[in-house]
Amino acid sequence: MDREELLDLLRALDEAAVDYVLIGATAMGFHGVVRATEAVDMLVRAAPENIERLRAGLRATFANDPSVEDIRAEDLLGDYPAVRYYPPHGDLYLDVMTRLGEMASFDSVEAEFKEIEGVRVRVATPAALHRLKRDTVRAIDRQDAAALRRRFGLADNRDE
């Protein structure tokens, strides 16, 4: 998935009225903190009709890709609420989640809308991204949290 394909996907998700929020490095990029990534991470509202809208957006972007049908509400609403979608070409993949354990869900992550080339994109705020990344075991997440803290003057308050 290249930049244009990502924009096409985000446009299709908006047109399909998918309730989603970008998290991870892609969301950081929308805030001007750029680092290389292989994945577009997103939380989606945990509702069967929203998962179907997600599939519709994916179908609109990646026509004739039968693996879109492998994304099922039963999986995303179950015990392991994440699926990985590999588009038919490109190096980026999509990690779709309905929750990150007890830590985060679509409804709990503070988000804002950004616009890029006429596409409305819902992204986690810098403070929300910082909270998601600061205490993980992955060194890259802790580095991301530090970059967000410096760029946006965020407090490292653990009581948030």
Q: What is the pLDDT of residues 66-77, one digit of tens each?
A: 999 999 999 999
Query: Looking at residues 86-95, what average pLDDT do you find?
Result: 88
- Is residue 25 predicted with pLDDT exceeding 60? yes
| pLDDT level of residue 91 (50, 70, 90 thresholds) | confident
How do beta strands 104-105 and 111-116 pair? unpaired
> Looking at per-residue confidence, does 1 or 45 come out higher?
45
Region 3-151: CATH code? 3.30.460
- What is the per-residue pLDDT for 85? 96
- What is the per-residue pLDDT for 2? 79
> Looking at per-residue confidence, does 1 or 145 come out higher?
145
What percent of the chain is modeled with pLDDT above 90?
Answer: 84
- Is residue 159 predicted with pLDDT exceeding 60? no
Phi, then psi, of 152 in degrees rounded to 5: -110, 5
Query: Looking at residues 125-134, what average pLDDT do you find?
Result: 96
Give the CA radius of gyration of the chain.
15
pTM to 2 decimal places: 0.93
Interval 1-18: pLDDT, tens: 678 889 999 999 999 999
- What is the per-residue pLDDT for 21? 98
- What is the per-residue pLDDT for 141? 94
H helical segments located in the chain: 3-15, 24-30, 48-61, 73-76, 126-133, 139-152
Residue 114 CA to residue 123 CA, distance in Å, equals 7
- What is the per-residue pLDDT for 10? 97
- Domain boundaries along the sequence of the chain: 3-151
- What is the per-residue pLDDT for 107? 96
For the chain, helix (H) and strand (E) counts, in that order, are: 6, 8
Q: Which residues pair with 113 in a beta bridge?
A: 122
- What is the per-residue pLDDT for 62? 93
